[in-house]
Amino acid sequence: MFETMTRRKFIQRGAAGLALASVAGVGGGACALQPKIGPLPQGQRLERITASPNYVDGAFRNQLPTPMMTSGKGQLATMWDFLFVPKERLRPDQPLPMLKTDLKALAAGSDDAVVWLGHSSLFLRLGGNTVLMDPVFSSFAAPLFFMNRAFDGVYPYSPADIPDIDLLAISHDHWDHLDHDTVVALRPRIKAVVCPLGVGAILEDWGFDSARIHEADWNEDVRLAQNLTVHVLPARHFSGRWLTRNKTLWAGFLLETPDRKVFYSGDSGYGPHFADIGAKFGPVDLAIMEDGQYDPGWKNIHMMPEEVAKGAEDLRAKAILPVHSGRFTISNHAWDDPYKRLAAASEGKAFRLLTPRIGEAVDMEQPAQRFARWWEAEARMAGGGRQIQNAAR
């Protein structure tokens, strides 16, 4: 019940705050939050968008019909359940285990590696390039600071810990993937950005040089270096930072070097696009897959854990790294449900399931590297305050 009351309080405060912000900004048609929201595409950018085959009747569309709500209750009834039906264990009882890998030292090395930074934030060293994906270092992933607060605990990373970045990849414009304060703080150290169509308007408004922004449609490539190509690929989701929806595109990425293929799903429901990507690019060395913030009522836009395993098989992935959990909660499931269900669904599969703690480096040069089932230890120790042991699975 505490979680329900907390969520209700946050939503009520958020609704009031957003209403006040909107009223305060009626002059000129922009609300007080506009600097962090960012503008919609205009001019030549909009002309390019309207020419996209994925843009129909003034909005981007998924490759197949994707109703937002699938519960049969309707949007209002589903939202009522989300806000007011009691849920249990939405947040951990104690801070989750986190490490602080020296990312600058990692960037100076030659080995390919990936570090999960919580939720969908990722740091990669790939083919000598430094890559940052969907970074959110703020303590909340929402328009206002008291909404969608991060789990308790001292988060170990800040923009100051990040080395120079060859590529910033943004999958879509939602608040838990595109954070104003984080990317603005990182802006001086980012050489290039790859994002789906329309998202560049926001980044340009936030001070990024247009020459550094590479916007792409699904199934388009961006070659950033002789040894790094970014394939912008379909996902099954939606977009929007304020009251408008689907004016910018959402996407997944495949990062390809001469020696490695790393796929990132972005936010996505399950669909045939995974098999299409697997047929074109597979086998994939590492698939970084969304696994969290799901619900049967909106399964079209967020995969259930069993679908994550199926998507990895479609991709012909050698290993998968689940993300989109572990730091924020915007769903109804228990905080550790994504790990438990995906671990069960991965048993006997051809791929390896990688389960690092936040900040723990995955060495892609070491296929035998193993990780603790840290979420099981957290469940056993809820309220106990004992130390996590670094036992391998």
pLDDT tens track for 44-66: 999 999 999 999 999 999 999 99
Query: Would 50 be classed as within a structural domain?
Result: no
Q: Which has the minimum average pLDDT: 132-136, 139-143, 214-218?
A: 139-143
Can you give the pLDDT at residue 83?
Answer: 65
Can you give the pLDDT at residue 379?
Answer: 61
303 band by pLDDT with thresholds 50, 70 and 90: very high
Write the DSSP assignment of 317-363 as a string of letters.
Answer: BSEEEEES-SS---SSS-TTHHHHHHHHHHTT-SSEEP-PPBTPEEE
Can you give the pLDDT at residue 73?
Answer: 64
Q: Are 296 and 289 in contact (CB under 8 A)?
A: no
Centre a 10 Å sphere on the Cβ of residue 380 and count the other Cβ atoms it contains: 9
Burial of residue 79, with CB atoms counted within 10 A of its CB: 0-12 exposed, 13-18 middle, 19 or more buried: middle
pLDDT at 67 over 50: yes
Map tokens 């008291």 to a residue.
Answer: 146
**How many domains are there within the chain?**
1
pLDDT at 99 over 70: yes
Can you give the pLDDT at residue 71?
Answer: 66
CA distances, 151 to each of 97, 126, 220, 221 (Å): 11, 30, 37, 36
- Which one has a higher pLDDT value, 35 or 79? 35
Closest CA to 265 of 247, 278, 279: 278
Query: Would 25 be classed as within a structural domain?
Result: no
Phi, psi (deg, nearest 5) at residue 193: -125, 135
pLDDT one-digit tens code per residue, 326-338: 999 989 999 999 9
Query: Would 76 be classed as within a structural domain?
Result: no
Query: Would 15 be classed as within a structural domain?
Result: no
CA quadruple 263, 267, 271, 277: dihedral, nearest 10: -20
CA angle, 359 then 167 then 39, to 5°: 100
In the predicted model, what is the mean pLDDT of residues 268-287?
Answer: 98
According to DSSP, the β-strands at 352-353 and 319-323 are: parallel
Q: How far apart are CA 13 and CA 219, in angstroms?
A: 41
Phi, psi (deg, nearest 5) at residue 42: -140, 170
Q: Is the peptide bond before 283 cis (omega within 30 degrees of 0)?
A: yes
Long-range contacts of range 381-384, CB-CB < 8 Å, 24 or more positions apart?
A: 381/94, 382/92, 382/93, 382/94, 383/93, 383/94
Alpha-carbon radius of gyration of the chain: 20
Query: Would 46 be classed as within a structural domain?
Result: no
Q: What is the mean pLDDT of the chain?
A: 88
pLDDT at 264 over 80: yes
pLDDT one-digit tens code per residue, 172-206: 999 999 999 999 999 999 999 999 999 999 999 99
Which helix (H) or strand (E) element contains residue 56?
strand 55-56
70 band by pLDDT with thresholds 50, 70 and 90: confident
Query: Would 47 be classed as within a structural domain?
Result: no
In the predicted model, what is the mean pLDDT of residues 289-317?
Answer: 97
pLDDT at 166 over 60: yes
In the predicted model, what is the mean pLDDT of residues 116-142?
Answer: 96
Can you give the pLDDT at residue 142?
Answer: 82
Q: Are 54 and 218 in contact (CB under 8 A)?
A: yes
Q: How far apart are CA 298 and CA 116, in angstroms?
A: 25
Domain residue limits at 164: 103-380
pLDDT at 69 over 70: yes
87 band by pLDDT with thresholds 50, 70 and 90: confident
Query: Would 13 be classed as within a structural domain?
Result: no
pLDDT one-digit tens code per residue, 1-44: 334 334 444 443 344 344 333 333 333 334 556 789 999 999 99
pLDDT at 380 over 50: yes
Map tokens 């479609």 to a residue.
Answer: 314
Spell out the residues 6+ positions from residue 19 whose beta carbon is closer than 8 angstroms to its own.
Answer: none
- CATH code, 206: 3.60.15.10
DSSP 387: P
Percent of the chain predicted with pLDDT > 70: 83
Can you give the pLDDT at residue 147?
Answer: 82
pLDDT at 222 over 50: yes
Q: How far apart are CA 5 and CA 7, in angstroms?
A: 5
Burial of residue 385, with CB atoms counted within 10 A of its CB: 0-12 exposed, 13-18 middle, 19 or more buried: exposed
364 band by pLDDT with thresholds 50, 70 and 90: very high
Q: Token digits for 84?
A: 């007011």
Map tokens 């909404």 to a residue.
Answer: 147
Q: What residues does 284 pair with on adjacent strands? A: 317
Query: Would 252 be classed as within a structural domain?
Result: yes
According to DSSP, the β-strands at 59-60 and 319-323 are: unpaired
Can you give the pLDDT at residue 184?
Answer: 98
Can you give the pLDDT at residue 17?
Answer: 40
pLDDT at 387 over 70: no
